[in-house]
Amino acid sequence: MRAALDAVLAAGVERGAVPGIAAVVVDRAGARYEGASGVRRAGSSEEMTVDSVGALFSMTKALVGAAAMQLVERGVLDLDAPAGEVCPELDDVVVLCGFDADDQPITRPAASRVTLRQLLTHTSGFSYEMWDADLLRWHAVTGTPTTASGDRAALSTPLMFDPGTRWRYGIGIDWVGALIEEVTGSRLGDRLAEHLTEPLGMVDTTFHPEGPMLDRRCAMHMRAGDGALMPFDMPLAAPDGFQSGGGGMHGTMADYGRFIAMLLGDGALDGTRVLEAGTVEQMLTNQIGDLRVEPLVSCQPTVTLDAEFFPGQPKTWGLTFQLNEEPAATGRPAGTAMWAGLANSYFWIDRANGIGGASLTQVLPFADPGAFALWADVETAVYRAL
């Protein structure tokens, strides 16, 4: 496996798919492979390493989902109670029906109240403007900040459909972070550190990297029209600012591998239990019934291209994870959990084989063909080695 993965990573960098990539493969006991290739910043000599720090973006969601499920275990949060009982703002949300002749939004009351389960499964009705033309238009005509602003006001959006009636990727887990803060009285990052990341030894996972983490931080890269990767420094959020449960954390693949190993170990790693086995089972099984995951259609091509994992195959959703219902060409079996981060970082959790992995790059737009293909090559190499 090591020889195969080292070769895959090096080949991806050589062909210009990414400037640098770090990857891990884990089983229930911990790391089976840790490797990296390339550089942290295109044009530099700063080598990419498994402890290179990058923006996790939506890989944050699984961590926040686990923190929420810890509170469900304790009876502090309820998956199916109205979330507005904790955050009253959620009882005021309306459904966007369209726009009138003056380009003003037309809305109506939602048919039901949003629940925590719906927020965790992207069936609440909330969306992301980068994949929803109507929501992008709503932001433009109302002047409400978008998620790119890093402002909590970006959560004050309408629903795009009634709760529980469709699947659409959106800001639901940002709201989950708000629920966690409300019921615990703690900042989201402090809660995760105390009850999840520090117990698991994830020493480099945080909303606000500082000190030595900054020395290992990767540049962000944008794919130019000629295919070149242009580096830039993505601003860090202010330490006292909004902590986005949907995408605000930074971390390393060495750390994220420990999180995956914990899930493969039914909630425990190295003798430390952070979730009950039944909770992990629930998180990694279908929670949306007959609904199915829909393709992501881009409205902002500099940020994301159209995206779908395993096109043509039905996908369901657990509590923060996509689940493929059929075996995939990479070698993963049906029921494998996965998701990704906006800068083309990816992870998967295969409980049937007791194996999982993750890779970190810092390349935009999301679903960049080169970076996307490299992730598939990594996973394929793992299953061939097995």
Task: Enumerate the active-site residues.
Answer: 58, 61, 169
Q: Which helix (H) or strand (E) holds 141?
A: helix 133-142
Q: Where are the beta strands (DSSP E) in 178-247?
A: 220-223, 229-232
Taking alpha carbons only, the member of 152, 194, 349 closest to residue 261 is: 349
Q: What is the DSSP string of 39-84?
A: BSSTTS--B--TT-BEE-GGGHHHHHHHHHHHHHHTTSS-TTSBGG
100-104 contact pairs (CB < 8 A, 24+): 103/141, 104/141
Q: What is the DSSP-derived secondary structure letter of residue 13? A: H
Taking alpha carbons only, the member of 326, 366, 360 closest to residue 345 is: 360
Q: How far apart are CA 272 and CA 262, in angstroms?
A: 9
Q: How far apart are CA 19 and CA 360, in angstroms?
A: 11
Q: How far apart are CA 167 and CA 374, in angstroms?
A: 28
Residue owning tokens 């170990």? 265
**Helical packing angle, 172-184 and 60-73, nearest 10°:** 40
Residue owning tokens 């990694």? 284
What three-state secondary structure class fits 148?
Answer: helix
